[in-house]
Structures are given as structure tokens and as C-alpha cells.
Amino acid sequence: MVPLSWYLTVAALLFVLGLYGVLSRRNAVAILMGVELMLNAVNINLIAFWRYTRPDNVAGLVFAIIVLTVAAAEAAVGLALFIALYRLRETVNVDEIDLLKG
Amino acid sequence: MNFLDPRILGEGWNHFLNSLGLSSGWIVLINGLVVTLILLGLGLTSVLFAVWLERKVAARVQDRLGPNRVGPYGLVQTVADALKLLTKEDITPDNAERISYNLAPGLAVFAVLMLLVVIPFGPGLVGADIDVGVLYIVAMGSVGIMAILMAGWSSNNKYALLGGFRAVAQLLSYEIPMILAMSVPVLFAGTMKMGELVERQAGFRWFGVVMPAAFFLYFLAALAENERTPFDLLEADSEIVAGYHIEYSAMKFAWFFLAFFLNTLILSAIATTLFLGGWRGPFVEQVPILGIFYFLAKSFVLVFAFMWIRATFPRLRIDQMMAFAWKVMVPTGLVLVLVAAVFAKLPVAPVVRDGLLFLVNIIILLVVAGFVGRHLRLQITRLSEA
Amino acid sequence: MVLKVVFLLISLFTVGSAFMVVTHRNLFSSALFLVASFFGVAALYVLLEATFLAVAQVLIYVGAIATLIVFAIMLTRGMMSGRTSPRNDQAVWAGLSSVVLGLVLLYVVVYRVRWPVVEKPVPPDTIERLGSALVGPYVIPFEIASVLLLAALIGAVLIAREREI
């Protein structure tokens, strides 16, 4: 069987890559993609822990399903915001959206 | 007739493999490859036949003869066409996004072929009866949408892009009533295993007979999912000249064509499994091999209905199509799911329950048809007054 | 042994695609790599014997979220290529801090802690139990998630709607 730490390594790498995407991208859609990667990493961890420590308890799976739901809701609202923003300002680059600066 | 029972045949095959002295890993691998080859062969030959059938049906509706030159009744015409497509020039547009342009046709076929695995063709004859079978079907359907989007975007052509947009709008919208319709038998049977769903439809209590409204809903949504008239807006030759596959030629076009027909066959096969009792039929308990025949017969009756509708009806307008999905089909689907959930727990004899369910389904169908009809009549009077 | 090789191939594919997601200059290609990465994660779930989650992953991430992202990229198409650099001026610091965080994570969480691993098979009726758990002990999170989805649905329609001026 594959050791648990291998899964955790993959999840950590995915999380870090997602973080880099969030921090370094200018385009809001690209930032959202980074966030999705991070959520995926979290889910891998949840399922790996479920499988390796308590496979007879479905709590890990339930948690992962809730994360999935929240990710879907977040993507829908986020992308609706970007589209509204693009219509208003013709850009989705986060460093050009500084309306509050006046 | 033991010899004709696929289950016993399978046992014999496994026994033969064991006698060769192979390790269990190899046996799993060999079995997987054999099943894949059988499914591929079955799928591709059925597509050859379905293309021929489509052309013959359309010809008959339009009072023509259809293909009749190559082979008896033109049966080999499709093979000739495939060979012709293979020898044509393969064009990639200059500004196309090369990787996704070349990947999209393959992904489209892959998404459909993957579905063959969970379909029970006969008693015990299923590639892999996974316990989330129905959900798997829905998930693979959404992969197909991705392929269409990739094709539409990467062609760098505005008609292709329009086709891609329409594809997302239409396929995603119609996926929802389709999922609702599919969840009705799932709720009722209490399982997502395709094989077990067939087991639960014993004794002619097919879910399509007990719940005709759900079957009808699935059928309409499947028409839209398959991009067939009256829902073929994402191809619409006369508006956006074939939509997302406008730039594709030769073999890559043939792949999309293949995906389209495979999709027709598989949507019918899923409908047969979920609603028409799958491989069930008279004497199938005594002669299990008959199951394959019943399954294919039922599926091809549905395929024929698809083709008949395609040859008969004109295309809908895009706002009508979206309104129909969201304002008619989704609410109906929600009501049907609710009804099925209530009836599945009703403490009465199965015969009474099925009868009541049938009545309720007919009433729902009539009410929905009444609403749609009244709306259409209102529109017609408004149009004639204006 | 075979499982380990399969795992390594899948995780290489997943992490490689994720790397392309955050570094590729063309946004549309990044989105396609994101889809590939989601598929890789689904394959990892299959290896972890969580078939329901694997299928749900394909359905929700590939079918819904990735499609939405591609759709948003198409609608905000002015940003696509050339005009602006896809990276901002803090990219170097972002990279550095990500690498540092990654090393810390790998060292502390993965190799320092002894996880209490048990070798137990997954019960065959996991899906039934998951279903009853969602409407049993976890009914409140489940209902809150559904309310959240409804709110997101209405909110998204309201925000993205074209207002008549």
C-alpha cells in the first residue's frame, strides 16, 4: 500500500502551487484557479486521512463533500462578480481595480 | 442451455485462465483488455449500423431511397465514407490553439466510450458494475461538454466560438432535468448500480411503464444532450454552420461524428437500462443469452425514435429552448423526484403503489402539457393580434 | 509495487498540470491544465477507494467549476493574451514564500509527525452509510450547504445580470 505521507506530499505540493498562483497572478480568474487548487489539496488530505486512519467513519467523506459544495458556490459567485466587473471596468486584473482609492 | 449463459461462460473463461498458471494480477489485466476490446468492437460496429440506419430513416421520411450502392441495401456505405474521410487532407487553422484543437476530438470520443463500461448488456454482462454507476454517467457527460468547449475555443473561428457558447448553455441546462429524471428510478430502486437497477425491474414493472413522465423527461433531455433536432442549436448548420466543429476536417471530423453517434446509442442504452427494464424480456431467465438481443432491440427502438424526430421536427429558437429547460423541465423534474421519494416509502402493496404512481405520473404529464399548450395558444393569439 | 508506480505517475501528472496552471501565460491553456489536474486528483481518490468522491470530483470540478472558469475567460476575453503580463510585481516574493511554506509543510507535517495509520479495509457499504450520515448526524451542515448553494445561485444571477439603464 502507498504510504500516507506520499499523499500528504502531493497535497502539500498542490497547496503550495495554488498559493503561488493566488499570490503571483494579476488576473482574477487565474487567482480563482489557484484557490481551487488549494481546495483540492485540502480535499486530498481529508480523504487520505479518512482512508488511512478511520475508514469505517464517514466523517472525512462528509467534510470533503461540504468542501466540494462550498467550492462550487464560491466559483459561481466569484465568476459572476468578474463578469459584472468586466462589464463595468473592462478589466479583471486585480491591481487595476482600485476604485476605492479614488 | 447452460452453454448459452454468459455467467457460466465467464466462469469457464476464468477457469481456463487459472489453468494457464497466471498470477491474479495478470488475469485482471487480461480480463480488462478483453472486456475493453469487446466493448470497443460492439460500440464501433453499432455506430456503423446506426449511421446507415439514420440515413435510411431520413431518406424514408423524405421519400428518397437513401444509400443503396455499396453492399446489400447500402450497408457498407458507412465503411466507404469512413475510408474517404481517412484519406482527406487534415487541416489545422493557422491561428488555432494547437494542443487543445487536436485533443478535443479525442476527448469527445473518450468521454462517450467510457460510458460503455457501466452498461449491462445482459444478465451479468457488464464491464464494471461500480456502485456509483448513474453518477458516473452524469460525470462523464460533463467531460463531453469540456471537449466541445475546447473545440469551439481553439478553432479561432467566431462561429466555432458561438457554437461553444451555445453548447455550454444548452448542455448544462439540459443536464439538470436529465439528472433529475435519472434520479427518479435511482430513488425508487435505492441503488445507483446499473446492474441492480435492472434487477429491480423484474416482472414487467419497468420504471418507464410505472413512471412514464420521468421516462418522457429523460427522453426529451437526451434529445437535447445529443444535440439532435429540435435542440440542435449548437450545430445549427443554417445559422452558425455546424458550430464548434466548423474547422475540423478529415479524421478529426470523423471523430466528432463518431462521438455524436456513439452518444445517440449510449443515451438510448442508458434509457433502456433505467426505464425499459434493460435486458429483461420473455424467457430470459431460461435462456440468458436472449438478454443481449432484448437489450439491443429496445435500444435500437429508441435510436429509431431519435432519428424519426430528427427527420420530422424543425429547430427551436434559442430563448424558447432555454425557457423550456428552466421553466418546464426542471420544475417537472423536481416534482417527479418528490413524488418518487414519497411513493418509495409508501406502506402499501407494490402493485397498488405502482398503479398509484402511474396515475400520478399521467396526471403530472397532462397538467404540464396543459400549461405548455395554454401558453402556446396565448402566444399565437398575441401574434395574430399584433 | 504496481500501486506505487501508478500513484507516482498520477501524482506527477497532477502536480505537473498544477504547475502549468500557475505558470502558463495563456489563461485558456491554464484552465485546460486545471482540468487535467482535477482529473489527476479524481484518480488519486480512486486509489484511495473513495469512488463516490472521485465521481463527484469529475462531476463538480470538471463539469461545473472548470466549465464556469472557461466560460468566464471567454466572456472577459480582452485579457487573453499579450496586452498585460499575467504575473504581478510580487511574483518573486510569492514564489519564495511558497517554496518556504512548502518546505516547512513537507518537513513538519509529512516527515516529523507520526500519523496513527491503521490498516483497515473500506467497508463495502460506504456509500449507503455516507448517504445516511448526510441526513443523520450531519444533517445541519448538509442543510446549511444547500442553503448556501441556493444563496449562491440567486446571488450569481443577480450580480451577473445585465441591468437596464
Amino acid at C120: K
Tens of pLDDT along B170-214? 888 888 899 899 888 888 888 888 888 888 877 777 888 888 888
Distance CA B324, CA B321 (A): 5
Distance CA B356, CA B210 (A): 9
| CB contact at 8 A, B229 and B314 | yes
Across B8-28, average pLDDT: 75
| CB contact at 8 A, B125 and B292 | yes
Tens of pLDDT along C62-77? 888 888 888 888 777 6
Tens of pLDDT along A45-93? 999 988 888 888 888 889 999 999 999 898 888 888 888 888 877 777 7
Cβ-nearest to C71 among B135, B138, B168? B168
Give pLDDT, residue B1. Answer: 46
C3 touches chain B (CB under 8 A): no
ipTM of the complex: 0.88
Chains A and B share 3 or more Cβ pairs within 8 Å: no
Q: Backbone phi, then psi, for B40, in 5-degree steps?
A: -60, -45
Mutate: best of C26, C39, C65, C161, partner A, most A CBs <10 A: C65
Give pLDDT, residue C105. Answer: 86
Cβ-nearest to C55 among B132, B150, B172? B132
Same domain, C60 and C131: no
- Spelled out in words, what is the top-level CATH class assigned to the domain A4-101? mainly alpha
User: For residue B230, is the peptide bond before it cis, meaning its omega torsion is within 30 degrees of 0?
Assistant: yes
Tens of pLDDT along B374-386? 988 888 888 888 7
C55 CA to chain B: closest CA distance, Å? 6
| Residue whose C-alpha cell is 506520499 | A6
Consecutive H or E run containing C117 = none
Residue C1 in this model has a pLDDT that exceeds 80: no
Cβ-nearest to B146 among C51, C55, C66? C66
* pTM exceeds 0.90: no
C156 CA to chain B: closest CA distance, Å? 15
Domain CATH number, residue C74: 1.20.120.1200
Residue B136 in this model has a pLDDT that exceeds 80: yes
Contacts of C114 (CB under 8 A, 6+ apart): none
CA distances from A45 to A38, A54, C113 (A): 11, 13, 14
Q: Which residues of C touch B141 (CB under 8 A)?
A: 63
Tens of pLDDT along C113-157? 887 888 888 888 888 888 888 888 999 999 999 999 999 989 988
CA distances from B153 to A79, B71, B83, B245 (A): 19, 40, 28, 10
Tens of pLDDT along B245-298? 777 877 888 888 888 888 889 999 899 888 888 788 777 777 777 888 888 888
Question: CA of C22: which chain A residue's CA is closest?
Answer: A21
C32 touches chain B (CB under 8 A): yes
Give pLDDT, residue B13. Answer: 76
C19 touches chain B (CB under 8 A): no
A21 CA to chain C: closest CA distance, Å? 5
Give pLDDT, residue C140. Answer: 92
Reading phi first (left if > 0) and then psi (alpha if -120 to 50, else beta), residue B289 is in: alpha
The answer to whether the CB atoms of C105 and A12 lie below 8 A apart is yes
The answer to whether the CB atoms of A53 and C71 lie below 8 A apart is no
A97 touches chain C (CB under 8 A): no
Sketch the domain layout of chain B as residue ranges. Answer: 2-385
Give pLDDT, residue C77. Answer: 66
Mutate: best of B146, B322, B345, partner C, most C CBs <10 A: B146
Residue B303 in this model has a pLDDT that exceeds 80: yes
Work out the number of other CB atoms within 10 angstroms of the CB of residue B315: 17
Strand partners, C87: A25
DSSP secondary structure string for all residues of C52-85: HHHHHHIIIIIIIIIHHHHHHHHHTGGGSSSSS-
Residue B12 in this model has a pLDDT that exceeds 80: no
C118 CA to chain A: closest CA distance, Å? 5
Give pLDDT, residue A44. Answer: 92
C138 touches chain B (CB under 8 A): no
pLDDT band at A101 (very low <50, low <70, confident <90, very high): low
Same domain, C66 and C128: no
Same domain, C76 and C132: no
Q: Which residues of B touch C51 (CB under 8 A)?
A: 130-132
Across B3-20, average pLDDT: 72
Containing structural domain, residue C16: 1-81
